């Protein structure tokens, strides 16, 4: 069991480009969560998805950010027209159920740098 | 705004010392309190999920207690080892949802 897989590990984008971050949850997990860690800050919730549905997107910026978790394939966090302030580490976590009895399984993160 | 506070922010101890950290969270709308261990260059790893007031959980030399009425949890490490060096995160789960509110973490450095 490979755990939660995120790719790419590092992503460099120029201002105005699009960034696509991928997350494959653990086998058997149908709940996916995205968190962002800005420099010198803690993990901040962005969005919670269950297969094909967005359950809670209260932490997502209103513009330029979107997330999906299709029936087949990984969850995608998409950032359009990136700006320098989007530079951060983006972590994905998954769980088999909600409420979570044993904690989330986290991926290793994608470090986005906007130049 | 839900706020989770951890203290201290960082801690340096000698090998063999016992140590403890505090996590404060809102006492209303409590559902669960999570503790994670986060080593540099790795991903956060779940230690405990605690749901009941008075809960005590133990994993090896690490243990945690929970007081939901006053809104705090303690994490204890007995006889710290250099491999315990990591950032310890607590996270508050309000209601029956998947969303976690994380604290800033306590970074522990154990010197041999």
Q: Distance (Å) from the C-alpha of residue A53 to the closest C-alpha of chain B? A: 14
- Residue A52, token pair as written in the block: 């094909």
Q: Which of A41, A48, A108 sits opposite B99 (nearest CB)?
A: A48
Give the gap in angstroms from C-alpha B33 to the nearest C-alpha of chain A.
Answer: 10
**C-alpha pair distances (Å), B102 with each of A78, A94, A101:** 23, 16, 17
Q: Which residues of B57-84 are buried (b: 16+ CB within 10 A; e: fewer)?
A: eeeeebbbebebeebbbebebeebeeeb
Assess whether pLDDT exceeds 70 at residue B89: yes
Per-residue pLDDT of B13-34, as tens digits, reads 999 999 999 999 998 888 899 9
pLDDT of res. A41: 86
Q: Which of residues 53-72 of A touch B (CB under 8 A)?
A: 55-56, 58-59
The predicted structure's pLDDT at residue A1 = 54
User: Interior CA angle at A108 toward A6 and B92, to 5°?
Assistant: 110
Give which of A6, A49, A67, A104 to mutate to test B binding, by max B Cβ within 10 Å. A104
Of B31, B43, B47, which to mutate for an interface test with A (greatest number of A Cβ within 10 Å)?
Answer: B43
Residue A84 backbone phi and psi in degrees, to 5: -60, -35
Q: Which of A52-66, A90-104, B91-105 has the highest mean pLDDT?
A: A52-66
Distances (CA, A) of B45 to A43, A67, A93, B26, B38: 14, 24, 11, 23, 6
Percent helix, strand, coil in chain B, to 5, is 5, 55, 40
Q: Nearest residue of A to residue B6 by CA position?
A: A42
State the pairing for strand pair B106-111/B10-14: parallel
pLDDT digits (tens, 9 = 90+) for A68-96: 999 889 999 999 999 999 999 999 999 98
Task: Of B21, B25, B24, give the one whose Cα is nearest residue B9.
Answer: B21
Interface contact A45-B44, CB threshold 8 A: no
B66, B55 in Cβ contact below 8 A? yes
Average pLDDT, chain B: 93
Task: Give the C-alpha separation, A93 to B53, whole Å.
Answer: 26
Min Cα–Cα distance to chain B from A54, Å: 12
- For residue B108, give how far its alpha carbon lies from the nearest alpha carbon of chain A (Å): 16
Q: List the single residue in B46, B48, B96 with the smallest CB-CB distance to A104.
A: B46
Interchain CB contact of A108 with B (< 8 Å): yes
A78, A18 Cβ separation under 8 angstroms? yes
Q: Chain B: residue nearest A98 by CA?
A: B98
Helix (H) or strand (E) run with residue A52 in it: none
- Percent residues over pLDDT 90 in chain A: 77
For residue B31, what is the nearest residue in chain A, using CA coordinates? Answer: A99
CB A43, CB A107: distance < 8 Å: no
Matching residue, tokens 């997990």: A29
Option in A59, A101, A106 nearest B43 (CB): A106
What is residue A50's predicted lDDT score, i.e. its pLDDT?
A: 92
């Amino acid at each position: 069991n490979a755990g939660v897989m995120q790719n790419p590990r590092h992503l460099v984008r120029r201002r105005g480009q699009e960034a696509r971050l991928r997350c494959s949850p653990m086998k058997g997990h149908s709940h996916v969560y995205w968190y962002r860690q800005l420099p010198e800050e803690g993990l901040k919730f962005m969005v919670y998805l269950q297969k094909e549905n967005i359950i809670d997107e209260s932490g997502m910026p209103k513009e330029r950010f979107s997330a999906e978790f299709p029936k087949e394939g990984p969850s995608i966090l998409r950032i359009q027209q990136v700006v320098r302030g989007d530079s951060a580490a983006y972590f994905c976590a998954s769980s088999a159920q909600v409420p979570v009895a044993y904690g989330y399984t986290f991926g290793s993160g994608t470090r986005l740098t906007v130049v | 705004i839900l706020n989770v506070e951890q203290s201290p922010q960082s801690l340096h101890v000698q090998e063999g010392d016992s140590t403890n950290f505090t996590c404060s969270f809102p006492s209303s709308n409590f559902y669960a309190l999570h503790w994670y261990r986060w080593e540099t260059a790795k991903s956060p790893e779940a230690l405990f999920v605690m749901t009941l007031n008075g809960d005590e959980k133990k994993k090896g030399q690490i243990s945690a207690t929970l007081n939901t009425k006053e809104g705090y949890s303690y994490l204890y490490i007995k006889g710290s080892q250099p491999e315990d060096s990591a950032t310890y995160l607590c996270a508050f789960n309000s209601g029956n949802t998947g969303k976690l509110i994380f604290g800033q973490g306590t970074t522990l450095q154990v010197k041999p």
